[in-house]
Structure 1
Amino acid sequence: MVKWDDAIYNIPAYPVTDAAWYLRIPLVTLRSWLKGRCYATKSGQQIFDPLIQRPDPGLPQLSFTNLVEAHVLRIIRETHQVKLDKVRKALDYMSQQFGTSHPLVTKKFQTDGVDLFVDQMDRLVNVSRSGQLAMRETLKHLLTRVEWDANGIATRFFPVIELIPEPGSDKIIFLDPSIRFGKPVIAGKGIPTDIIAELYNAGDSIEDIADEYDCTPLQIKTAIQFESQNRAA
């Protein structure tokens, strides 16, 4: 059995700027989650610990595991406005409950873990009943964009793609450390999205690219949109 620390999911592979693009998270926000930061209180300056632990503190790159963690944290922080110190305490609690330093990327979090997390947040910040329901539903929906292996470890992530109205386009692109070193690729094809975007920007039509790579026009359009939204972020 592969040890967690040796798995490809924990290899430093994603520059912070790329991770911020993929996840639609402001770069300054992601950096604060990785490094921690100081904040002012009535009793003086306080420091909160990082919310995400990179696999190698000496390297700036994130792992695939870190990407999934940031994906979940984005909703907790931005949608529900939970303060960082409370999030840190809740994560510490979940780590103790699950016996892992990465509780947000285990399949167990998708099941009873969401309820445990929300219950803990209620004790920390007195979440309203409607707030509890909203957080549970949001987290469970968010976790549908993650796939786990037989050991319950997150192995594949489908990033959110904006401005693609066609049905069936929400899971066309994924990141999987076992395919193309974890670069974003077209599902079922393994073709990196940056190659598609380069061809399109060089003047190739969507139809010609689709023919060349045996893809549908929708797959090509989605790959182009994904790269476009990331580079514009």
Structure 2
Amino acid sequence: MIPGGPQGGFADRGALPAERVADPRERPLYTLREAARYLDVPEATLRTWVRGRGYPVQRGSRREWSPPLIETPGGGPLLSFYNLVEANVLAALRRERRISMHRVRRAVEAAKAFLGVERPLLLDLQAGLKEVFVERGGELLSLTRSGQVALREILESFLTRVDRDEKGLPLRFRPPVGGKVRAEWVALNPLVAFGAPAVERVETRVLALRYDAGEELEEIAEDYGLPPHAVREALVFEGLAA
């Protein structure tokens, strides 16, 4: 069975006022399950980031509420492309398993204050993100297994998944595939195929459907004018090839 991705029909998958959706990167596009697959993180983890969670206080029956770290469009159930980019930074920080979400939350708040921006997780390294989470994140770093160097390398590798426009804003997201941190050909672009995973302008699910129906990889590649290794990467992403 081919894993699903966004398959159109986004108009009825969430709604925002017109002024909030002028930028396609802000539109509600991805379910939690879809976004978790593209990020290669557990769905339950991503749910905590975008929905928050309750936790017990000491041994009593009282519970505290941990608010979400990522604000979805209109507070709805779907994530935007920008939300995907924000979650990618959190995935990098959480890669060091001993960093608690409490420490990550404090780092995000520090980034907001230090950089003077509301959504620091959308920034690139040159905009100061590395300085806040690595150079200035003493408390965060003290909880990692390998220290400053490891956190810097992880953050840098995860941020290479994001291609940016001339203004430095996120434009495309290249998901992990086949054991690689980022795909070479597969990308999610909210301006192409409604943000669905695609190679050039061909959705990966379309390539996978043809391959699953028995067509040869080289034939599919020729039909779309794609290199065979690009189609193979799409098939690996869809779980149909090694």
Alignment partner of 1:83 is 2:100: yes
Identify if the C-alpha distance between structure 1 residues 129 and 214 changes in structure 2 by more than 3 Å, giving closer, same or farther.
closer
Shift, 1:53, TM fit: 1.0
SS in 1 for 2:118: coil
Q: Distance in 2 between matches of 1:202 and 1:142?
A: 34
- CA distance 1:116–1:4, shift in 2 (3 Å): farther
Which of 147, 169, 188 lines up with 1:175 in the alignment? 188
Q: Given residue 172 of structure 1, which amino acid in structure 2 is its aligned partner?
A: W
2:208 is aligned with 1:191? no
Q: How big is each residue's C-alpha offset from its partner over 1:100-122, in whole Å with a ceiling of 9 and x where there is no partner? A: 33211123x44532121224432
The letter of the residue matching 2:149 is L
Aligned residues of 1:110 and 1:143 also touching (Cα < 8 A): no
Q: Residue in 2 aligned with 1:139?
A: 155
Separation in 2 of the partners of 1:160 and 1:34? 21
Match of residue 205 from structure 1? 216
Contact 1:86 1:125 in 2 (8 A): no
Match of 1:49 in 2: 67
SS at match of 1:79: coil
Pair 1:128–1:182, CA change in 2 (3 A): closer
- When the two chains are superposed, the root-mean-square deviation of aligned CA atoms in Å is 2.4
Alignment partners' CA distance in 2, 1:85 and 1:47: 12
Farther off after superposition, 122-131 or 12-21:
122-131
- Counterpart of 1:70, as a letter, is A
Aligned partner of 2:27 in structure 1 is 11
Residues 34 and 53, structure 1, Cα contact 8 Å, conserved in 2: yes
Higher mean alpha-carbon deviation, 201-210 vs 127-136, is at 127-136
User: In 2, Cα distance between the equivalents of 1:125 and 1:106?
Assistant: 20
Q: How far apart are residue 98 of structure 1 and its match?
A: 2.7
Give the CA deviation at 1:43. Answer: 6.7
Q: 1:117 matched to which residue of 2?
A: 133
- Partner of 2:29, secondary structure, is coil
Task: Answer whether contact 1:80 1:135 (CA < 8 A) is retained.
Answer: no
Contact 2:177–2:236 (CA under 8 A) maintained in structure 1: yes
Cα deviation, residue 129, structure 1? 9.4
Q: 1:20 to 1:158 in 2, by over 3 A?
A: same
Unpaired segments of 5 or more residues in structure 1? none
Question: Residue 104 of structure 2 aligns to which amino acid in structure 1?
Answer: V
Aligned partners of 1:28 and 1:48: how far apart in 2? 15
What secondary structure does 1:159 align onto? coil
Higher percent of residues as helix: 1
TM-score, normalised relative to structure 1: 0.85
- Scaled by the length of structure 2, what TM-score is found? 0.82
**Closer, same or farther in 2 for the Cα pair 1:144/1:42, shift >3 Å?**
same
Write the distance in 1 (CA, Å) between the matches of 2:210 and 2:160: 31
Could you list the runs of 5+ residues in structure 2 that have no partner in the other structure? 1-18
Q: Supply the distance in 1 between the matched residues of 2:186 and 2:104 (Cα, whole angstroms).
A: 29
